[in-house]
């Protein structure tokens, strides 16, 4: 029969081994959990980026059918596929309610309540054009899956704003410049895709009117070209 001291040492050894194994298992479980979360967040971010890019393409197609861009720039015309008036609250599946008007105000002047003329013309690092600062207007907005049968649309909500481009110096941000003037036939678009929680990705681009040769006549077919695409990253405080 082993001595009491031997039994005590054996018990301590078993407890130590059990503790080590438990700690290793807990650490492995934590690593797998964090890795799973990282993969899910990466997939969500990639999906939102592609959704925002799709919003740009959808807006380009709708702008090609808009005969008067000045109405769009002034906020008086929206895409036919937009889900209602360009204000009010929208409920995102598995997410917080989205205030369309507040998002527009934040984009224009950084204030939720509204933007005065002084706010809109204030010169900042992101808006250095003063009287020619863009006045963003919601143009196409709604659940992504309501626009087309996208495979990974899920609960993504897309807002596409339209504004005059920064080349114009006429002090009329709600009107396209005259023919021959800098920036004529060019508008800026910004698409934000909202997902679960606070998931969000944004893309900005320029849309340019083009005239494509028509093989059946001596004229051309009006169209839209997307250019100057960029991924917009939000600042980290």
Copy the structure tokens of residue 199. 């998931």
12 phi, psi to nearest 5 deg: -65, -40
* DSSP SS3 for 10: helix
Q: What would the pLDDT profile of 16-64 be if each residue is shown by its tens digit?
A: 888 888 888 787 777 776 665 665 666 777 888 888 999 999 999 998 8
Q: Please tell me the predicted confidence (pLDDT) of residue 236.
A: 42
Number of neighbouring beta carbons within 10 Å of residue 28: 10
Tallying the residues shown for the chain, one arrives at 237
Query: What is the CA angle 118-136-222, rounded to 5?
Result: 135
Copy the structure tokens of residue 68. 């008067």
Structural contact between residues 213 and 190, judged by C-beta atoms closer than 8 angstroms: no
Q: Please tell me the predicted confidence (pLDDT) of residue 233.
A: 77
Q: What would the pLDDT profile of 105-142 be if each residue is shown by its tens digit?
A: 999 998 898 899 999 999 988 888 899 999 999 999 99
Strands 186-194 and 157-164: antiparallel
CA distance linking residue 1 with residue 13, whole number of Å: 19
Copy the structure tokens of residue 18. 């059990």
């Amino acid at each position: 029969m082993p001595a009491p001291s031997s039994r005590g040492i054996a018990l301590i050894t078993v407890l130590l081994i059990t503790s080590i194994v438990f700690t290793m298992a807990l650490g492995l479980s934590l690593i797998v959990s964090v890795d799973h979360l990282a993969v899910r967040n990466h997939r969500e971010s990639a999906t939102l980026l592609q959704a925002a890019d799709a919003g740009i393409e959808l807006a380009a197609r709708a702008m090609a059918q808009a005969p008067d861009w000045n109405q769009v720039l002034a906020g008086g015309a929206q895409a036919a596929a937009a889900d209602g008036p360009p204000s009010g609250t929208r409920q995102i599946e598995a997410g917080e309610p989205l205030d369309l008007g507040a998002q527009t105000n934040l984009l224009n002047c950084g204030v939720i309540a509204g933007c005065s003329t002084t706010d809109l013309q204030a010169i900042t690092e992101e808006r250095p054009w003063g009287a020619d600062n863009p006045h963003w207007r919601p143009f196409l907005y709604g659940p992504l899956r309501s626009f087309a049968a996208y495979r990974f649309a899920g609960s993504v909500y897309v807002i596409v704003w339209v504004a005059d481009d920064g080349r114009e110096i006429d002090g009329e941000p709600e009107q396209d410049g005259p023919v021959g003037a800098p920036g004529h036939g060019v508008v800026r678009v910004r698409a934000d895709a909202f997902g679960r929680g606070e998931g969000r990705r944004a893309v900005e681009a320029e849309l340019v009117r083009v005239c494509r040769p028509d093989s059946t006549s001596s004229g051309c077919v009006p169209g839209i070209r997307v250019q100057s695409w960029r991924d917009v990253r939000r600042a980290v405080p």
